[in-house]
Amino acid sequence: MEKKIELFLVSGFLGSGKTTFLRNMLTQMSGRRIGVIVNEFGSIGIDGTVLQNGDLKMVEINNGSIFCACLKGGFVKTLVAFLEQPIDYLLVEASGLADPANMESFLDQMEPYLARKPHITRAYNYRGGICVADAIHFLQFAEVFTPVKNQVMKSRFIVLNKIDDVDKDRQRELYGAIHALNPEAFVYPTNYGEVPLEVIEEHLK
């Protein structure tokens, strides 16, 4: 069996700093063979046509959220297609309102496609979800938008972004709210979406 592709899901509500985090992560992974699935190339500010060369390959799935019913077939086919690519990592960027609860089921849905492609011998190692939460607005948004809470509940690593923009009392309130939703998640406070790659690797084994 060939080495598995390390799969990470990145979610976060609009304005949380998710795209900045993703750019930082890609910069730190420079030199590695990486695939990226996004809703829009422009969402992370990189020219998709350029990315077809070298060690970074990107696929755009637009006209809706990757996780909505209207696109799930295309998403599953894209996951299968990446198993044939010479990559070691696959990053999936979910749209701001996506509910990532079904990621494992999407991996299960690859089976019928893989049955028709016996030459594919690779598989994914799903390391878990990374949710970027906006320290300024998270508490407000979590009361109104169910996907904001679901993204935290279904992620193993929470990037608590813009932490310097809130006082200590609000920080304690944020930690309490996040741990109430997901007591097992690791919370990393930061600014500008900066998280050392080794920290992510350590907590998403």
At residue 89, the 3 state secondary structure works out as strand
CB 51 within 8 A of CB 58: yes
Buried b / exposed e along 36-75 (16+ C-beta atoms within 10 A):
bbbbebebbebebeebeeeebbbbebeeebbbeeebbeeb
User: Residue 45 has what pLDDT?
Assistant: 46
Cα separation, 56 vs 78, in Å, equals 15
Per-residue pLDDT for 188 more than 90? yes
Confidence of residue 59 (pLDDT cuts 50, 70, 90): confident
Q: What is the pLDDT of residues 10-38, one digit of tens each?
A: 999 888 999 899 889 988 998 889 998 88
How far apart, in whole angstroms, are the C-alpha atoms of residue 59 and residue 39? Answer: 8
**58 in helix, strand or coil?**
strand
Residue 190 clears pLDDT 60, i.e. is over it:
yes
Res 47: pLDDT: 40
Sign, CA torsion 178/179/185/190: positive
pLDDT value of position 27: 87
End-to-end CA gap in the chain: 20
- According to the model, what pLDDT value does residue 54 have? 52
Provide the pLDDT confidence category of residue 100 given band limits of 50, 70 and 90: low
* Residue type for position 31: G
Look at the pTM and tell me if it is higher than 0.75. Answer: yes
pLDDT in tens, 129-172: 999 999 999 999 999 998 899 999 999 999 999 999 999 999 99
pLDDT reported for residue 152:
95
Residues 6+ apart with CB under 8 A from 124: 4, 5, 6, 7, 79, 83, 90, 107
The predicted pLDDT at position 77 comes to 87
Helix spans in the chain (H) = 18-28, 72-82, 103-108, 111-115, 138-144, 146-153, 168-181, 197-203
Is residue 180's pLDDT more than 80? yes
- Of 48-57, 80-89, 152-161, which gets the smallest average pLDDT? 48-57
pLDDT the model gives residue 114: 93
Q: Minimum mean pLDDT among 20-29, 97-106, 169-178: which range?
A: 97-106
